[in-house]
A and B are shown apart, each in its own frame.
Chain A
Amino acid sequence: MITQMQVKGLMFDPYNNAYIVILRDEDQTDMLPIWVGKSEASSISLALESVAPPRPMTHDFMKAYLDAVDAKVISVVITDLNENTYFAKIHLTYEDSEYTVDSRPSDAIALALRSEAPIFANESVIRKQSSEELDQWLENLKPEDFGKLDS
């Protein structure tokens, strides 16, 4: 089973000096945080804010590559979590065929946001992440830890 997720926002994780993309399902009950690097976080942030940078950034280039050959992103799926590494699949259509490409969730999300493609997560991945510890950890993050994303 897969659940459609929305990107709710980005947070700075001061403990790991990394960024967290927060995905939530439509009922706002399940959550999936994904740790990403600074440049990926910056790229996701630009897409969320619909900011067009003066020059195409890497994921804009990725989108332009697919557009150039009329390939279309249908959906992306966060498929697995294995020792804190997430796996994702990008589903594409190209010349009446479907293709599935392995990717990091950060690239998949950055591309999905630019392609207006839905983001899904395997329920197994969500379950592993909706523990009380995690909720508590998120609650304990201080407001000043939010919104520190610099692009």
Chain B
Amino acid sequence: MMPDETPQSAEPLIELTVNRVVEDPNTDTRILVLSRTDGTPDHFMIWVGASEGESIRRALDTSVTPRPMSHDLVRSFGEHLGITTERVVIRDVKSSTYFATVYLENKGATRTIDARPSDAIALALRCHAPIYATPDVWRRRTGQNLDAWLNKLETKNIGAQEV
């Protein structure tokens, strides 16, 4: 499905899927590894906070907590009020900070919210909404040629903390 309102660009958006969430044992953060749904074998990484990263991991695992966690609560608001999370778009990156927009649909009207990608993706996964990046963000992404480094991290055999 192609979104009808492509921000700032006539080029088509790139649909992404969350490949995995990697723990960075050196810091209180998680690394979100995103890949393209069209099969292009390239990654896109975003560093997120530990609680946001764990929230995304729970959504991937479809694990259920005894009480609703923060992003479950946002989904619950949508369910109660009849609001659909239509899609999220990672729209910009400035000084290594990524910016996302969440598109909500409310009785035919579209509303947008500025969000961190972590919150946007944590909600999108719970609402089965597609995740996109603009081509510009994709070109400027972090994560190219980092597979070897990531593999090292995942086997907890770490040489370097940051890239």
Contact = CB atoms under 8 A, between A and B. Distances in A.
Interface stretch (B107-115, B132-140, B148-156): B107-115
A68 B67 contact: no
B104 A71 contact: no
A68 B68 contact: no
A101 interface: yes
Say which size band chain A's interface belongs to.
20 to 34
A56 B76 contact: no
Contacts of A87: 67
Interface stretch (A59-67, A116-124, A141-149): A59-67
Chain B at the A interface: SS class = mixed
Interface in A94-128: 94, 99, 101-104, 107
Contacts of A130: none
Interface in A55-86: 55-59, 61-62, 64-66, 68-69, 71, 85
A100 to B, nearest CB: 8
Nearest to A54: B97
Contacts, number: 77
A14 interface: no
Contacts of B70: 40, 58-59, 62, 107
Q: Which 6 A-B pairs have the closest CB atoms?
A: A39-B51, A68-B111, A61-B119, A99-B80, A64-B113, A58-B70
Given A54-B97, A99-B81, A102-B76, 16 more contacts: A37-B51, A39-B50, A55-B116, A56-B114, A62-B74, A65-B77, A65-B113, A69-B83, A69-B106, A71-B77, A85-B67, A92-B81, A99-B80, A101-B73, A101-B77, A107-B70
29 contacts: A39-B50, A40-B70, A56-B119, A58-B52, A59-B70, A61-B115, A62-B74, A62-B77, A64-B114, A65-B74, A65-B78, A65-B102, A65-B104, A65-B113, A66-B77, A68-B112, A68-B113, A69-B81, A69-B83, A69-B104, A69-B111, A90-B73, A92-B81, A99-B80, A99-B81, A103-B68, A103-B76, A107-B70, A107-B73
